Amino acid sequence: MNFLDIATGISGFVLIVLVFSDVFQSIIVPHYTPKGTRLSPRLISKVLWQPLRALVKVLPEGSFLQANLNMFAPAAMMSLITCWLAVMTGGYALLLWAERSQVKPLLDNFDEAYYFAAVSVLTIGYGDFVATAPMARFTVICAAVSGIVLLAITVSFLFAVQSHFHEREVNAQIISSRHENAANGAVFYHNLRHQANAIATLELCERWLTEVYQSHAAYPLLLYFRSRSSKASWLVQLGVVLDAAAIGLALESHNNRVLKRSIYENGCRTLAVFANYLNVFPRDQKVIQDPRVFEQIFEALGAPDPDKAAANFAELRQHYYPELFALSEFLLIPLPPLSIIDVEKLLFESGSHLAMPRDKAHVPGMTAMIDWPKMP
């Protein structure tokens, strides 16, 4: 075995280790590691999602790709499994090519080495190539064991991802129904104040946020799974829950303050981890939270000091909204601005009305200026 064959064998071994390291961190011991040499983040984000995202953004509204973005995550999951299998097979092919003198009939080219590695990994074993020496036989046995282990692990991976996705969607739908699908934190907070089971709803939000953080940090592919309903999108609901908690904290209300603080802190950490994993830079978005655009929301909510409450809310929101906005831009999930409120419901008791048309343009995440009528 010459130096070139040794280098080829080492290269093959490195590829095999690279695949199993990624599988180990992704499935066996899910761990948040956005840095390093992992295959899965680069394949899904750099190779698959970002080119598709760039194409979708230049296509007209309602194009075929835009309407079928929900197919990306399942396709990416199958592509990832295929990539693991193909790269691992390539690693064993390099090993067998370095050991070709121990294979009968002699391997004439790398294509035959890849074929021999593939039938070994898939445990097909046609018998047209046979390892005749201990080192080559050991390589073939390792290839067969690796193929069986990889396929078995990936089946559990499929079930785990689908289970977490289903749990996320069920709770997101429940939370959406609690604020009547308004997709607005102010409406959610208003409804909570008039609910006898507000604690149960807040506990649901706290548990849901924690589960989303744990599951999506362990299986980042879940970030690309789109919700079945745009009104109950998981990212939109996450923003709604955080806005509602921040409004409660800004009003300095002592009712369920511990739960609101827990929701707020867990939500901020969740969005920061997701933005870091996807390598988006929210601080570059320059999303400014101007307290003046929130004052009328707090007037509608009956705050004793709307100016102070708006300032508190703007400061709290600045800790999570840039990440939320960056994620929505990256994942192509539009966020409704905080101004889209059913004001008739919110201000039913005061008799006020909305003077601004609903189709007026808004700054993302901000509250539009509403011409509230003066009360006599």
Burial of 62 (0-12, 13-18, 19+ CB in 10 A): exposed
- pTM listed for this prediction: 0.81
Helix (H), strand (E) at residue 142:
helix 134-178
* 368 — pLDDT class (breaks 50, 70, 90): very low
CB contact set of 177 (below 8 Å; sequence gap of 6+): none
For residue range 47-56, what is the model confidence (pLDDT) as tens digits?
A: 999 999 999 8
**Each residue's pLDDT tens digit, 289-346:** 677 778 888 888 888 888 999 899 989 998 899 899 999 999 999 888 775 344 444 4
- Give the pLDDT score at 163: 93
264 SS3 class: helix
Nearest alpha carbon to residue 32 among 331, 277, 222, 237: 277
Question: In this predicted structure, what is the pLDDT of residue 10?
Answer: 92
Q: Give the C-alpha separation, 335 to 101, whole Å.
A: 61
What tokens appear for 299 in the block?
């007037």
343-355 pLDDT, tens digit each = 444 444 433 333 3
Closest C-alpha among 25, 24, 44 to residue 279: 44
Condensed to tens digits (0 to 9), the pLDDT of residues 123-164 reads: 887 888 899 899 999 999 999 999 999 999 988 889 989 999
List of domains in the chain: 3-155 (1.10.287.70), 179-346 (no CATH)
Percent of the chain with pLDDT over 70: 85
Q: 74-78, 110-114, 184-188: lowest mean pLDDT where?
A: 184-188
pLDDT at 66 (0 to 100): 76
Can the peptide bond before residue 105 be classed as cis, meaning omega within 30 degrees of 0?
yes
The C-alpha angle 82, 84, 88, rounded to 5 degrees, equals 120
